[in-house]
Chain A
Amino acid sequence: MLACACSIFVIVLFIFVILILRSHLSLVQFGWKFFARQAWDPVAGDFGALSFIYGTLVTSLLALLMAVPLALGVAIFLTELCPRPLRAPISFLTELLAAIPSVVYGLWAVFVLVPIMRNSLGPFLYKILGWTGLFGGANFGVGMLTAGIILAIMILPIISSLTRDIMTAVPNSQREAALALGATKWEMIRIGVLRNARIGIVGAVMLGLGRALGETMAVTMVIGNHSEISKSLFAPGNTLASVIAGEFSEATGDLYLSALIEIGLALFLVTIVVNVIARLMVWAVTRGAPSRVS
C-alpha cells in the first residue's frame, strides 16, 4: 500500500522527466526565448509560444471575469439565503454540470453558442462596445470570446461548489456573533462569512483558473485555431492546450514535435504551480471541517 501511495509521486515525477527529455531538442534550440517569440512556422522550423500564451491568458481571464462574480453569488445564495428544500437540488445540478465531459460542452458550443455569437451577441457587443477596439474585426462566431464564454460555463460549477464548501466550513458562531451585534443578513455574510473564507475563496478561484488554463477539447472546438496575436476578442486564436490538440498528430519533424511537447511542459508546470497555491489556500480554510465527496 505504501508502494501504491508512493506511485503517485512517481507518476508526477515521471511525467515531468519524460516531458523534459522529449522537449530537449526545442529547449536547447530556442532556450527561454521560446516563450517570448511569436513566430510559429512549422515549415521553416521556427517556433515560439507567445501567441499561445497570450491566447491562454486572455481566454482564462475572460472566463474568470464572467464566472467569479456569478459563482460567488450562487455560493452565497446556496449557503446563506436559499430555502432548505431547494438547497439539495440546486447543488446537485451544479455537481452534475461539473461532471459533463468537455467534449460535450464543445459540441454544444459549436452548434448553439457559435451561431448565437455570430448572429446576435457579437453584433450587439460591437454596437455597444465597438469603440474600445476589443470587439472589432470580422466576427465568425468562433474566436477567443466564444472560448472564454464556454470556459466560464465550464468552471462555474467548480468554483461555486468549492466556494460553497468553504463557506459552509465557517463556524456558525461567527454568523451568530455578527447577527447578535445587530448586523443585517448581508453585513453578517460580509463580516462573518466572506471575511473568514476569503483565502479559501481565492483558492477556489485559482483552482478554477487551473482548470481553465488546461482545458482542451471545448476550447479547441470553438477558438478557431489561428496562431496570431490580435487585439480583437472576436479574432480566432489558440491556447497552449488547443495548439497541442490541434497540431500534435500532424507534427512532422522532431523539432516541431519537441516544440509542442515543450508547450505541454510549460502547461504542466504552470498548472502545477497554480494548483499547489490553490490547494494550500483551500486547505487553510477547510482544514478540520468534514470533507465532502465532489
Chain B
Amino acid sequence: MSTQPVASQPLGLPRKPSRANSAVRSTTNYIVSGLSILATAIVLVPLAAILFYLVYKGARSLNLAFFTHVPAPVGEEGGGMANAIVGSGIILILASLIGIPIGIAAGVYLAEFGRGKFLGNAVRFTADVLNGVPSIVMGISIYSLIVMQQKHFSAFAGGVALAIMMIPTVTRTTEEMLATVPHAIREAALGLGVPKWRTAISVSLRTASPGIITGCMLAFARVAGETAPLLFTALGNQFWSVKLNEPIAALPLQIYVYAISPYDEWHRLAWAGALVLISLIMVSVTLVRIYASRGVLKGGS
C-alpha cells in the first residue's frame, strides 16, 4: 500500500479508487487495530496478574508478628521484619533529609531562575541523565567513597546513596509543579515590590507545595524499594540496630536475602515484605496522580 495514495495520482486525471484497493486498506486497518488491542491485552493481563498475585500471596503471609518481631533463626517458625522496617525508615529519613532540600532547591532554580538559560538546560539534562544511572553503580561509588574510608558498612552510607538517587526525581517534579503556577501570581508579588528570591520561596513554592510534597513522596517511594545501592552500603542486619554507623537492616534487602534462601518460612516473609513495600508505593503513586492530573494547587485558577 502506498504511503500517499492521493498525491501519487497524476493531477487532472481523477481515477476512481478501485474497490480491491479500498478493501485491502480497510482490512489492514482492522488487522492493525486488532493487533494493537491484542498487544494491550497481552501486556495488561500478565502485569495485572503479577499485581494480584503479589497482593494475594502477601496478604496471606502478613500478620502482626511481621511488624513486631525481629527475624527468627533458621528453622524456627514465626519471626518478622520489625528491624528491617525500622531500618528502612531510618535510612529513608536520612535520605530524605539530605536529598529533598537539595532537590527542591535545584528545582526552584530550574523553574524560577534558569528558564531558557544554558545552565538551566544543562542542569535539567544532567538530572535526567543521573536518573538513568544504574542503582548498582550508585551503590559501588558510595561504597568506594564512604565505606572504604570508614572501613565498615553503615546506615549513613545507605542513606547517602538513596539521597543521591532521590535528587533528580525531586528536582524534576518540583520544576514541573512550579511550572503550573500561574504567572499572574508571581507578577502580583513582584508588582508589590517583593524581591525575586522572596517571590520564588513564599509565593511560587507555597502555591505549588501540595504538588511538590507529593513529588517528594513519589521519590521517597521509588527509593524505598531500591535494593542494589544498599547491598554494599547498609549491608543488612539480622539483629536489632538503630545506630547510624553500623550495618542496618532494610526491607528490600531482607526481601532479597529471603527470596534467594531455601526456606519456606523465609519465602513467606519475603512475600509479606513485598506487599508492604508495594502498598507504600501504590499510595504515593496514586496521590501524585491525583495532584498531577487535577492540578490541585492553592492559587491555581
Q: How far is the CA of A189 from the CA of B35 in the complex (A)?
A: 14
Q: Taking the complex as formed, is A172 at the interface, i.e. its CB lies under 8 A from any CB of chain B?
A: no
Nearest neighbor of B164 in chain A, beta-carbon distance: A11
Q: Which of A5, A81, A245 contacts B114 (CB 8 A)?
A: A5
B126 touches A106 (CB 8 A): no
With known contacts A4-B105, A90-B40, A249–B141 Cβ distance under 8 A: no
Residues of B within 8 A of A104 (CB): 54, 225, 255, 274, 277-278
Interface 1/0 per residue, A183-195 and B, CB below 8 Å: 1111101110000
Please determine whether B129 and A5 come into contact, CB atoms closer than 8 angstroms.
no
A9 in contact with B126 (CB, 8 Å):
yes
Tell whether B3 is near chain A: CB-to-CB under 8 Å.
yes
Interface residues in A230-263 by Cβ distance below 8 A to B read 241, 244-245, 248-249, 260-261
Complex contact B277–A12 (CB within 8 A): no
Contact of B252 among A101, A184, A261, A264 (CB under 8 A): A101
Q: Whole-angstrom distance between the alpha carbons of A275 and B29 in the complex? A: 35
A103-B37 contact given A8-B106, A11-B167, A12-B126, CB 8 Å threshold: no
B95 within 8 A of A: no
Asked if B39 CB lies within 8 Å of chain A CBs, one says yes
Q: How far is the CA of A21 from the CA of B140 in the complex (A)?
A: 12
Known: A8-B126, A217-B227. A153 touches B42 (CB 8 A): no
**B109 engages A1 (CB within 8 Å):** yes
Question: B226 contacts A101, CB within 8 Å?
Answer: yes
Q: Does B38 contact A (CB under 8 A)?
A: yes
- Of listed A2, A11, A293, residue having the most chain B CB within 10 A: A293
Stretch from A40-48, A57-65, A70-78, A118-126 that touches the partner: A70-78
Nearest-CB distance from B66 to chain A (Å)? Answer: 16
A278 CB contacts on chain B under 8 angstroms: 132
CB distance from B289 to the nearest CB of A (A): 6
- Given A104-B278, A157-B47, A216-B134, verify A96-B28 contact (CB < 8 Å): no
User: Is A29 close to B, CB under 8 A?
Assistant: no
CA distance A108 to B275 in the complex (A): 12
Q: Nearest Cβ distance between residue A255 and chain B, in whole angstroms?
A: 15
Which of chain A's residues 1-32 have a Cβ closer than 8 Å to chain B? 1-9, 11-12, 14-15, 18-19, 21-22
Q: Is the CB of A19 within 8 A of B292?
A: no
For residue B285, CB closer than 8 A to chain A, the reply is: yes
A227 within 8 A of B: no
Task: Please state if B54 and A108 are interface contacts (CB–CB under 8 Å).
Answer: yes
Docked complex Cα distance between A267 and B179 (Å): 34
Interface string of B84-112 (1 = CB under 8 A from A): 00000000000000000111011011100
A77 touches B129 (CB 8 A): no
**Contact of A147 with B by CB under 8 A:** no
